[in-house]
Amino acid sequence: MWLAVLVVVITSVAAFDVTVTNLWNGGFQAKFTITPNHALHGWRAHLLCDLALDSIEIWRANVVEKRDGGKEFVLVNTPYDPDVSNSGNLVIEFAGHMSGGSSPNCIVTVDGVNSTVPHTTQHAPAPTHDTGPSNGVVAHMKYDYAKALGLSILFYDAQRSGRLPANNPIPWRGDSAVNDGDNGHDLSGGWYDAGDHVKFNLPMAMSTHILLWGFMKFQDAYKHAGQTSMMCDMIKWPLDYFLKCWIPESETYYVQVGDGGPDHGFWGRPENMNMWRPAFKVTAGNGGSDVAGDTASAFAAGYIVFNTICGDASYANRLLQAGKSIYEFAKNHQKIYSQSVPQAAGFYGSSGFRDELSLAAAWLYKATNDGRYLNEARQFHDGGVPWSLSWDDKRIAGTLLLYEITQDGSYKNDVMGFVRSYKPGGGITYTPCGLAYRDQWGANRYAANAAFIAVMAAADGIETNDFVTWTMSQINYILGDNKYHISYEIGFGSNYPVHPHHRGSSCPTSTNWCNAGDPGPNPNLLKGALVGGPDNQDNYDDRRGDYVKNEVACDYNAAFQGALAGLLHFAVNNALPAAPGSRC
């Protein structure tokens, strides 16, 4: 039930409603939308509440002053997101902290925006999990891709290792593994890989550059969803970690922290770990061209994103210099990393490194326009139609990026061949309800990865309507067009998995004791996580112990998020075809 309270009339500035979306003892989450009557280039606002707040954590804005004992907070735009167009909207989310379990009544006023309309603060007792379109736009979407995209960002925030920032949006996560390192070298930070607590740089780097690519390509979708600032904040976390891992002076790159065997023997919160966490590295004498190449791609793509979207040129330049040096390391000391670090082989054993070197060179060309990198990207590239896009095989990503750079028809043909191989009649098995079923391990992941390539190709003008429609068939299956009419993305809609194979989510924050076999739902909602998915007959069991169907991982969400952004991009531009019908 919605409660209308705190009616206030403002005559000199606009007042905007604040909606409380979640409430817990000692805090709450809320959001408001700025809709000015003229374009703003930079803005200043005031959050006014009837109860004092101890502090707030806010995204897409900065707090510059706290007044009246915490009843007013003065906010200004972030340097990288200053503009609000005429009749546009800027959605801002924040978390408030205060004693007790009551939430305040708040409004937001914006200096220099006139209004004489009364406004009310609205409260919802809990998120509604609706699947209708967000922001009142693109109503022809069958599912709300903007909401699903925002949830995916939160999944990565839940995977953070290290000392968490003040704006941490995951209330059940705290500092963890802050002493990760090797002989005094700080290796704290980064993302935990999956439902465990090992940090594997190969899938982490792959996830990072795929996320950056989708962000770069479909930045209008992120802006429409109100997620630009959140994405800049989220994607910086692994990049900061990679900068710690790479030591160019000694040609040393740390590629893993934690040992999979002992780690998998511990079922508990990362905040409660006390095991030894060894660090593993590759060097000039024991190389790792695949993982180093993937990290070079992340650095180069990060350079472009932070230079053009996130508004931090100094940080972008650090990333570019790191990308150049680690690429030379990868190229000059060619070896498969899991041969140098056998502790990785049983979890993320690599099959080769030419695909990572080609992709890294292509990204560095895109970042620098230096023809040497393009020549090397071509030399390392192996054509043809690969089995999948995955953490181990990035050939199709390199093919598509080379096509974008060169417009060479041979690359285009391979991209078309890859997408067609996943479409009906292309040779891949389909479940009865319509999921392209490449493998039982992360079935949703492989379908989403192919969908990402399809929608990226569509944005490049390759069989646009056909590829976008097929992308929708896969993403819509994941979001609800399936046998159980559930969302395989946790937190989306009203019906989704509640027993993901994920230690931190499954353990209460109030105690150090945790039982993996507890039949109840995970006490902490792992928002945005994409679970592995069904078998080849669409059967799925929401059971924590089934790590094939119900584990989550960083690489599961990366291309899935990019595919969501791609579909939202077409919707925002009124170019989204009609959704294909559900088979179930």
Give catalytic residues, as residue numbers. 542, 551
Beta carbons of 570 and 468 less than 8 angstroms apart: yes
Provide the token pair at 19.
């909606």
Residue 30 pairs in a beta bridge with 20, 94
Sign (positive or negative) of CA dihedral 311, 313, 315, 320:
positive
Length, in residues, of the chain:
584
Provide the token pair at 46.
């005031």
Contacts for 215 with CB less than 8 Å, ≥ 6 apart: 222, 231, 235, 305, 309, 562, 565
Q: Is 171 exposed, middle or buried (0-12, 13-18, 19+ CB in 10 A)?
A: middle
Calpha distance 89→247 (Å, rounded): 43
Calpha distance 13→225 (Å, rounded): 26
Residue 76 pairs in a beta bridge with 44, 62
Residue in 255, 101, 94 with CA at minimum distance from that of residue 187:
255
DSSP 551: B
Calpha distance 416→414 (Å, rounded): 5
Beta carbons of 360 and 332 less than 8 angstroms apart: no
Residue 551 pairs in a beta bridge with 501
- Measured in degrees and rounded to the nearest 5, phi and psi for residue 186 equal -70, 125
Sign (positive or negative) of CA dihedral 83, 86, 88, 90:
positive
Contacts for 407 with CB less than 8 Å, ≥ 6 apart: none
Angle at 135 (CA atoms; ends 131, 137), nearest 5 degrees: 90
Contacts for 57 with CB less than 8 Å, ≥ 6 apart: 94, 95, 97, 166, 167, 168, 169
Residue in 527, 441, 521 with CA at minimum distance from that of residue 487:
527
Beta carbons of 40 and 83 less than 8 angstroms apart: yes
Per residue, the 3-state secondary structure of 150-180, as one string, reads HHHHHHHHHCECECCCCCCCCCCCCCECCCC
Look-up: residue for tokens 């000039």?
Answer: 284
Calpha distance 179→192 (Å, rounded): 15
